[in-house]
Chains A and B, each alone.
Chain A
Amino acid sequence: DVKVTQSSRYLVKRTGEKVFLECVQDMDHENMFWYRQDPGLGLRLIYFSYDVKMKEKGDIPEGYSVSREKKERFSLILESASTNQTSMYLCASRGRTYQPQHFGDGTRLSIL
């Protein structure tokens, strides 16, 4: 079974802090994704990566950056956290085209 592990289930940070969300997958998948989920808005893609050191902006990249130094790890960075970034963050990975995305358990991030 594919395992996607997110470093924290719950996280509380303060406005202006630099926040790191980590995601690790164990299936040697090329593609990894970061989404945020908000009530009534569904899942919105922040960034995705199709290879090591490669990244593409999704629908809502503003205020975020990502890092993929190793194939199994994809990090989401909030450069200067703001209260409107309080949300559920979901990481996913995917192998070859047309395979499903596999999701981690999610991180509920609160910015105070």
Chain B
Amino acid sequence: AQKVTQAQTEISVVEKEDVTLDCVYETRDTTYYLFWYKQPPSGELVFLIRRNSFDEQNEISGRYSWNFQKSTSSFNFTITASQVVDSAVYFCALSPPNTGNQFYFGTGTSLTVIP
């Protein structure tokens, strides 16, 4: 079974705080890709990052960083020094092979950054 769990439904932080969004996935495949998307209030989903199952290096892009740990099947996303513009719904997704190119999305985490 393929499944992505984002246990945090809603998170509120004060501006400049750091925040981590959790993502736990289930798959029996050894090859797969993981993704994070951002959905601002305007509605469109914006692609943030892709990580393949063979690359466990953490990645940093500006204030964003991602921690991929295969041993715990987690792919967590940290925003450092949060800003009001980070307020959005964030989705984690799993893309295994041989599933017709389907993505399996988590239910999303709604992040509110309070000024």
Contact = CB atoms under 8 A, between A and B. Distances in A.
A106 B50 contact: no
A97 interface: yes
A100 B50 CA distance: 7
Interface string A86-112: 001010101001111111111010000
Contacts, number: 53
Interface string A45-71: 100101000001010000000000000
Nearest to A103: B45
A31 B101 contact: yes
Contact of A105 (B44, B103, B105, B108): B44
A42 B107 contact: yes
Contacts of A43: 91, 105, 108
10 contacts: A9-B43, A31-B101, A42-B107, A45-B102, A48-B100, A97-B101, A101-B47, A101-B93, A103-B45, A106-B44
Interface string B61-74: 00000000000000
B59 to A, nearest CB: 15
Leading 7 A-B pairs by shortest Cβ distance: A42-B107, A103-B45, A106-B43, A100-B47, A43-B105, A105-B44, A31-B101
Determine the interface band of chain B, counting residues with CB < 8 A from chain A: 20 to 34
Interface secondary structure of A, over-half rule: strand
Nearest to A96: B101
Interface in B11-56: 33, 35, 37, 42-47, 50, 52
Contacts of B9: 40
Contacts of A102: 47
Contact of B35 (A45, A48, A100): A100
A45 B100 CA distance: 12
Nearest to B48: A100
